[in-house]
Amino acid sequence: MSKEISTKALAERILEGNTAVVDVRSAEAYNGWQIRGESRGGHILSARSLPARWASYLDWIDIVRSKGIAPHQPIVLYGYDPQESMRIAKQFERAGYIDIYYYHGFIREWSADSKLSMDKLPRYQQLVSSSWLKELIETGSAPEFQNGPFVLCHAHYRNPADYDIGHIPGALSLDTNTLESSSTWNCRTPAELKVALAALGITRNSTVVLYGRCSFPRKDEPFPGSSAGHLGAMRCALILLYAGVEDVRILNGGLQSWVDAGYQLTRQPAAPVEARDFGGPIPGRPELLVSLAEAKRILASSNANLISVRSWLEYTGEVSGYNYIDRKGCIPGSVFADCGSDAYHMENYRNPDHTCREYHEVSFAWYKLGVVPERLNAFYCGTGWRASEAFFNAWLMGWPSLAVYDGGWYEWSRHADNSIQRGERIGEASHEY
């Protein structure tokens, strides 16, 4: 039978370290958004994120177990609404958990007392909710937004029908090929980016919100990745940051989060207002993309990581991952940071609803691999999309030295003099994530 716990008792349990504290609010609230007027944004230090809306998922208990919340552990649940915490407590009870508490003092006591420890995602403002976006569209203003121009983009890969069948009102259609070359898959030249961004009405001072459709491609689709729009949005976000756009944001959960909130889509296309000048040099952050030569220097450094954000089958050389890449294997000396099942999925970096995975889980998985913020960390994959999503996760955490090796496996494998590795026992790689 679950029971209530006081602020003092909860603080003591956290110090003892044997209690699982579970935050049942939305991912946005957990990350740092002050949604109900709490004095401080974020979550109770050491709390895990388990939004109450996930309770309807058939694999809910598997999600719980994946977070290391064991049946023998005492569990404390908290959120904004006591009824919600108590409802999730009953679900834990039905799943065989027996030592359950609920805490109702988060807003009134915990967030109001600066002596009680909290944590938040350092750049939480760059990961926005559908309700935040709706407010911005309808009023031109929203929390953590300086009134000014904003551009909303629906990302897709050479698939305008993905936009035409339904998009968020006011969103522009953004083909990823606008920002990256269709022949090399690398970011376009500064001159090409200047033209492309001007056509979209994007300047250095714009707030740009990106999203895409969260479904993934079928094997028989003519253009691999054409449906993986939200992954494409991550790729575009990286390129915009590289170009020098100062305020780049992602709709957490992509188009699916907008639909899940019950908001309407439109088929009415939006027209961009062309910008006269970007307002600064392009690239504004050249260090975010590294070349083949720089990737080799990173491999030779004792204080840097070249990180493979690919699937296990790609990393071990069973598949190349793409029908246009022949050579199979991995870059010798790279660190394997498993993306998920294949070249078009990022399950290990996302929650079941396609929101960004709890950042503590991502950073802990990286830490076990030696991927830590004190080093320069350059991510790569096949052609830059998955690497961009991993990069964005680290950037949200405020890590100081980050980059993407833009050429990735596509470029590396095309040079016959570049060595490769294959096999199941490459270094000490692990695909447990």
CB 322 within 8 A of CB 344: no
DSSP assignment, residue 424? T
Q: Is residue 52 classed as helix, strand or coil in its secondary structure?
A: helix
CA dist., res. 253 & res. 241, Å (int): 20
For 168, half-sphere exposure in the C-beta direction (CA atoms, 13 angstrom radius) is: 32
Conformation bin of residue 77: beta by default, left when phi > 0, alpha when psi is -120 to 50: beta
Give me the helix-helix angle, 385-396 and 359-368, nearest 10°: 110
**What ranges in 266-384 are assigned the alpha helix state H?**
292-300, 312-315, 359-368
* Residue of 392, 325, 329, 328 lying closest to 356 (CA atoms): 392
CA dist., res. 237 & res. 390, Å (int): 12
For 293, half-sphere exposure in the C-beta direction (CA atoms, 13 angstrom radius) is: 0
Is 236 one of the annotated active-site residues of the chain? Answer: no
Catalytic residue among 214, 236, 339, 381: 381
Sign of CA dihedral 197, 199, 205, 211: negative
Query: Beta partners for 4?
Result: 102
Q: 43-44 and 118-119 as β-strands: parallel, antiparallel, unpaired?
A: antiparallel
- Name the residues annotated as catalytic: 381
